[in-house]
Structure 1
Amino acid sequence: MNGDSDKTTVEGGPGLVPVGFWELVAYFLRLGASGFGGPIALAGYMQRDLIPHRWISEDEYRVGLAFSQMMPGPLAAQLAMWIGFIRHGVVGASLVGIVFILPTLLIVIVISWLYVSYHGLAVVQALFYGMGPTIIAIVALSAYRLARITVGSDRRLWGIFVVVALITIVARTEIALLFVAAGLIGVLLYSTPASPKQGASHLSALAVAPAVLAGAASLPLLLELGAFFVKAGAFTFGSGLAIVPFLHEGVVLKHHWLTEREFLDAVAVGIITPGPVVITAAFVGFLVAGLSGVLIASAGVFLPVYLFVLFVGRYIIQLATGTEQAGGNQ
């Protein structure tokens, strides 16, 4: 299986090395099993590993990172699926997403089973405190690398960065409207005029997916659990720990599925394990409904990301490349 047979694949630019399907899958399996530090660190690892190997270009990485930051849901998983999509189409996005999440999911299942069996796992807290300084260092270094490649020497982008950072520091919270406002400023500064037909097509694609995802049923426990985590993945901007307040409100305050202590332990598990931080969803799912809860909660929180890559990402690719290569038959 390779990109030549998949019409959704975007060919790399001059100087890029064609990456085999299983070679790319193996890379993301390793990253999912060993990548600590949360979304910023994971995105930094992809930048560090894939660009020097010439599997993707810096421009492709920037577009993928901007797309992942713009859309709600887990940033690192979305970026991984994006890279799988531009190199090997729908199949690439699907399998890359699965192997990137799978190692952490298995680890969380084991931790969850021990936690439930022994009515709380003190070692989780000990691991969190012991690994905390290392994780902070990884995040700080990755944030610096991401700023260099994303912002570069553009003074206008640095101005946006400084203003948003100051507001976030003063407010002590991540404000979703800031993402929207920064995006609109970017449109004004950098976009090229599009025809009315193209504009209507892109807007309709952006509007359909969230509207469909919002209508999930919530009667049986598993459906209620799945609906909650679909909404968490579809409507939470900022990725990583930005999802924690949303989860706390629903899991602890609204549904009363977990106690405050159990929720804190769930967040700790998401932080100390490799891979996406939102794997916290799997731990919550296990405590609420066992293994079925793990599968439902995990599928729910990552499903919107997958759909955004497939149905919105292709339009971003078209805008970025100026071609229709991403719009082929599935």
Structure 2
Amino acid sequence: MIDVTKSEGETSALAVKPPYTLWQLILYFLRLGTLGFGGPVALVGYMRRDLVEQRGWITEADYKEGLALAQLAPGPMAAQTAIYLGYVHYRTMGATLVGLAFVLPSFFMVVALGWAYSRFGGLTWMQSVFYGVGATVIGIIAISAHKLTIKSVGKDKLLWTIFLVLAAATVITESEIAWLFLVAGVANWLWRAPPKRWGGDGLAAVTSIDLAQTSGLLASLDWSLLMQIGVFFAKAGAFVFGSGLAIVPFLYGGVVTEHHWLNEKQFVDAVAVAMITPGPVVITVGFIGYLVADFPGACVAALGTFLPCYLFTIIPAPYFKKYGKLPAIVAFVDGVTAAAVGAITGSVIVIAKRSIMDIPTALMALVTIVILWKYKKLQEPFIVAGAALIGLALYPWLHH
């Protein structure tokens, strides 16, 4: 394990000679993208457990910076955290290859499911599988949220206040309010380490200019179906904050209501596909893109969604690396992290209201929590596979 209390010189040496190769990190994220179930909360929890606690490849400080940046920048949280962790020691090359390794396995899975869905006229077994998996995923996310809370919030009263406010706001509004993350960071910064002057305005100005230019560019392009898909999903990737689940309401408004590319049932099936496949939840855009315009549509939708989040991670990453150890930045990151974990915990309740629909699903969620609590080394894919089988057996019998 890396001793995060080492001197700056020793830490710099570790940064030059990381305790792992880029190939090892790529293989890890290939595996996580292939077998990582449970949505964004669970995925960032796996990253911390595997890379920080067990292998010692990433320091706690670097992990927290990545999680904070993923919450501050628009786009899917799990993918951005992965990209940042690739950047920590291997910079842009590491960020690029790790991002591809994390996203591509689930992308090819949802494309295959999109092909099957189009060919066979719908996934009639999807409701049965989601019935079991959806409930189990709640248990996985709940355990991950608990671990993140204990580690990130600790016994700090101000951080607990931020945590509770964000959890309540998420439950009440059923969405993640981006400006509250900024308020939380600023509040903790002003309380812990109020500086005489903080030069963060420059970065904020650059970001706002990029957003304005991107918005203007996206609004001007509307030439063909593929271009429409690219523009719409780039907007989704550029302007939706928080976890991959936060993108679902945005997608519904555009895909079903505005463009009429899919009907209600197809969209619900698309979300179900995202939940029963491993990797980032936002990969559902690949399934939607396939239904709209086959494989080219899937590629354009995925590229449009993930390119903005990639850019919004690697562009500010050097600033996080350079200034991340300053007391003001540490306090700001701690505040944003507490807010993020609060929102994640609140999202457990929001998702549970949709996934836990009766006594059997409630029992499955509770059993999942107990199993993961007692058997900490048990691999989640086994639990998800078992839940899918239970769903296939129970759902037709309960809803005949």
TM-score (normalizing by structure 2): 0.74
Superposed counterparts of 1:304-323, under 5 Å: 304-321=308-325
Q: CA deviation at 1:200?
A: 4.3
Aligned counterpart, 1:237:
241
Q: 1:129 to 1:91 in 2, by over 3 A?
A: same
Deviations 1:302-328 (A, max 9, x none): 111110111112212222046xxxxxx
One-letter amino acid of the counterpart of residue 190, structure 2? L
Aligned counterpart, 2:3:
none
Is the Cα contact below 8 Å between 1:205 and 1:312 reproduced in 2? Answer: no
Superposed counterparts of 1:123-138, under 5 Å: 123-138=125-140
Alignment partners' CA distance in 2, 1:120 and 1:11: 54
Is the Cα contact below 8 Å between 2:158 and 2:188 reproduced in 1? Answer: no
Alignment partners' CA distance in 2, 1:239 and 1:125: 23
Supply the RMSD in Å over aligned alpha carbons. 2.0
Q: Does 1:144 align with 2:139?
A: no
Aligned counterpart, 1:112:
114
Q: 1:56 to 1:221 in 2, by over 3 A?
A: same
Q: 1:315 to 1:40 in 2, by over 3 A?
A: same
Aligned counterpart, 1:171:
173
| Among candidates 120, 123, 134, match of residue 121 of structure 1 | 123
Alignment partners' CA distance in 2, 1:132 and 1:207: 37
Aligned counterpart, 2:105:
103
Q: 1:299 to 1:186 in 2, by over 3 A?
A: farther
Alignment partners' CA distance in 2, 1:191 and 1:204: 23
Tell which deviates more after alignment, 72-81 or 202-211: 202-211
Alignment partners' CA distance in 2, 1:191 and 1:268: 45
Is the Cα contact below 8 Å between 1:104 and 1:279 reproduced in 2? Answer: yes
Q: 1:190 to 1:312 in 2, by over 3 A?
A: farther
Aligned counterpart, 1:49:
50
Q: 1:207 to 1:158 in 2, by over 3 A?
A: same
Aligned counterpart, 1:22:
23
Deviations 1:40-80 (A, max 9, x none): 00000000000121101111111111111121111110000
SS at match of 2:61: helix
Alignment partners' CA distance in 2, 1:125 and 1:12: 52
Q: CA deviation at 1:31?
A: 0.4
SS at match of 1:73: coil
| Among candidates 245, 248, 251, match of residue 247 of structure 1 | 251
The percent of aligned pairs where both chains have the same amino acid is 46
Q: Does 1:281 align with 2:285?
A: yes
Aligned counterpart, 1:268:
272
Q: 1:223 to 1:13 in 2, by over 3 A?
A: same
SS at match of 1:121: coil
Tell which deviates more after alignment, 65-74 or 29-38: 65-74
Alignment partners' CA distance in 1, 2:47 and 2:151: 12
Q: CA deviation at 1:276?
A: 0.3
Deviations 1:106-145 (A, max 9, x none): 1101100000001111122222112122211110011111
Q: Which runs of 5+ in 1 are unaligned?
A: 1-9, 323-330
Q: Does 1:193 align with 2:183?
A: no
Superposed counterparts of 1:293-304, under 5 Å: 293-304=297-308
Q: CA deviation at 1:192?
A: 5.2
Deviations 1:213-267 (A, max 9, x none): 2222222111111111111111111222111111100111011111011000011
Q: 1:315 to 1:191 in 2, by over 3 A?
A: farther
SS at match of 1:122: coil
Aligned length: 311
Tell which deviates more after alignment, 267-276 or 120-129: 120-129
Aligned counterpart, 2:184:
182
One-letter amino acid of the counterpart of residue 185, structure 1? A
Deviations 1:2-61 (A, max 9, x none): xxxxxxxx95759x9521010110000000000000000000000000012110111111
SS at match of 1:18: coil
Deviations 1:281-319 (A, max 9, x none): 001100111100110000111111110111112212222
Q: 1:192 to 1:273 in 2, by over 3 A?
A: same
One-letter amino acid of the counterpart of residue 108, structure 2? L
Aligned counterpart, 1:203:
204
Q: CA deviation at 1:181?
A: 2.8
Is the Cα contact below 8 Å between 2:256 and 2:264 reproduced in 1? Answer: yes
